């Protein structure tokens, strides 16, 4: 037994632990209930009485040594894991991840920039609007089916107060307040009582344009939008006007641009037609000018309206309008 203790002692002295696992191995081997020390104490029971004193002392000494060694190994392993994080300054402030400008804001800013260079300024108007500025002044006769084109949210059952259905309300507010010439673009949020889907939302953004002066013609409208389309979608972009109807413009047109993905050959984005619609436009109806206190014999003007989400979806090939308002960082990060 004496030799056994001596050989274990030698092993104990040379033992090292570089990791928590090695520390555990040491504990299992020497200190645990099934370890060397327990085994020696079992053997000790069989030692003849006259030798008990001598072996007992040896055994206790060995037990204490093993425990002390174990404690020093614990300390070594702990210090080592502290060494590993040397070089990491825990007092440094966390690095904030940089945010980015929302894609709709980016598109809106770019649109503003292009029109500002053509002499337009930016105007704003209320989102909570009355019937007159959203409909009546824009030549929507009362009970006229044209009002049904835009499913309206009314506020507190008062049919006179509503959430604006388009940014055209800013046209009327601008014209009734000031004197021509007006050359303004009006970006803003609008609301419609529509079922939410990948293509439609109950709120979205538009940008309205208005140019009223002496002798403004359809030619000016075409040239202004042609310039915008080339600047925004690329220099080869073509533009076309399709006859349409809006109560506030006469004549009215739907604005299409040549598909900038397939260059007019036909693809999924343009539904194989080679053209994509970006908005509506026309010459301001004389009735609208009159409603706003402007003499249509002296002045004429053009107006247009485009959906900002629609333009952003075309530009970045986004196929679901809901992504713009979900605040999903994985989406927003890409812009």
Distance of closest approach, residue 304 Cβ to ligand DAH, in angstroms: 5
Q: Which one among 103, 180, 187, 282 touches ligand DAH, defined by CB under 6 A?
A: 282
**Tokens read off for 161:** 């107060």
Q: Name which of 219, 135, 213, 229 is nearest 179 in CA terms.
A: 213
Site string for ligand DAH, 14-33 (x = CB under 6 A): --------------------
Measured CA to CA, the distance from residue 18 to residue 77 in angstroms comes to: 6
Tell me the window of 10-18, 32-40, 83-91, 279-287 that interacts with ligand DAH (CB under 6 A): 279-287
Q: Which one among 134, 139, 168, 291 touches ligand DAH, defined by CB under 6 A?
A: 168
36-44 helix and 49-84 helix, angle to the nearest 10 degrees: 170
Measured CA to CA, the distance from residue 121 to residue 105 in angstroms comes to: 17
Distance of closest approach, residue 205 Cβ to ligand DAH, in angstroms: 11
The answer to whether 222 touches 202, Cβ cutoff 8 Å, is: no
**Tokens read off for 266:** 């036909």
Tell me the window of 28-36, 256-264, 289-297, 302-310 that interacts with ligand DAH (CB under 6 A): 302-310
Q: Which is nearer to ligand DAH, 65 or 250 (CB)?
A: 250
Could you identify the residue written with the tokens 């060397």?
Answer: 36
Could you identify the residue written with the tokens 């509503």?
Answer: 162
Q: Give the single-character DSSP code of 31.
A: I
| Residues 202-241 close enough to bind ligand DAH by CB under 6 A | 208
Distance of closest approach, residue 318 Cβ to ligand DAH, in angstroms: 20
Distance of closest approach, residue 214 Cβ to ligand DAH, in angstroms: 19
Q: Which one among 246, 260, 299, 324 touches ligand DAH, defined by CB under 6 A?
A: 246
- CB neighbour list of residue 63: distance below 8 Å, 6 or more residues apart: 37
Q: Name which of 331, 294, 297, 296 is nearest 312 in CA terms.
A: 331
Q: Which one among 133, 166, 183, 201 touches ligand DAH, defined by CB under 6 A?
A: 166
Cis omega (within 30 of 0) for bond into 265: no
Q: Which is nearer to ligand DAH, 37 or 111 (CB)?
A: 111
281 binds ligand DAH (CB under 6 A): yes
Measured CA to CA, the distance from residue 299 to residue 287 in angstroms comes to: 12
139 binds ligand DAH (CB under 6 A): no
| Residues 306-325 close enough to bind ligand DAH by CB under 6 A | none
Distance of closest approach, residue 169 Cβ to ligand DAH, in angstroms: 9
Q: Which is nearer to ligand DAH, 103 or 280 (CB)?
A: 280
CA-CA-CA-CA torsion sign (231, 233, 238, 244): negative
Q: Name which of 165, 186, 29, 187 is nearest 106 in CA terms.
A: 187
Please count the residues of this chain forming the interface with ligand DAH, following the rule CB under 6 A: 11
Distance of closest approach, residue 274 Cβ to ligand DAH, in angstroms: 23
Report the interface residues with ligand DAH, using CB under 6 A: 166, 168, 208, 246, 249, 280-282, 303-305
């Amino acid at each position: 037994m004496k030799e056994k203790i001596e050989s274990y002692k030698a092993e104990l002295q040379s033992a090292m632990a570089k990791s928590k696992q090695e520390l555990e191995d040491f504990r299992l081997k020497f200190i645990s209930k099934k370890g060397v020390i327990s085994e020696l104490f079992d053997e000790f029971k069989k030692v003849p009485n006259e030798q008990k004193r001598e072996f007992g002392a040896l055994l206790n000494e060995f037990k204490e040594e093993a425990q002390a060694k174990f404690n020093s190994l614990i300390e070594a392993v702990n210090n080592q894991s502290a060494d590993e994080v040397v070089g990491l300054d825990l007092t440094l402030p966390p690095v904030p991840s940089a945010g980015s400008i929302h894609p709709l804001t980016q598109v809106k800013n770019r649109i503003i920039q292009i029109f500002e260079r053509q002499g337009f300024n930016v105007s704003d108007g209320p989102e909570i609007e009355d019937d007159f500025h959203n409909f009546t002044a824009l030549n929507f006769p009362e009970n006229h089916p044209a009002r049904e084109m835009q499913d309206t949210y009314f506020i507190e059952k008062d049919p006179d107060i509503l959430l604006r259905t388009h940014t055209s309300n800013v046209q009327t507010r601008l014209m009734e307040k000031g004197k021509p010439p007006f050359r303004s673009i009006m970006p803003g949020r609008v609301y419609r009582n529509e079922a939410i889907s990948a293509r439609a939302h109950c709120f979205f953004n538009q940008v309205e344009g208005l140019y009223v002066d002496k002798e403004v013609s359809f030619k000016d409208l075409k040239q202004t939008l042609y310039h915008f389309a080339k600047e925004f979608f690329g220099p080869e972009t073509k533009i076309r006007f399709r006859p349409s109807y809006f109560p506030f413009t006469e004549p009215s047109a739907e604005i299409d641009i040549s598909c900038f993905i397939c260059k007019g050959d036909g693809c999924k984005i343009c539904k194989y037609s080679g053209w994509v619609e970006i908005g509506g436009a026309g010459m301001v109806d004389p009735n609208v000018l009159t409603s706003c206190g402007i003499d249509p014999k002296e002045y004429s003007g053009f107006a247009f309206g485009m959906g900002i989400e629609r333009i952003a979806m075309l530009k970045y090939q986004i196929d679901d309008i809901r992504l713009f308002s979900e605040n999903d960082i994985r989406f927003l990060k890409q812009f």
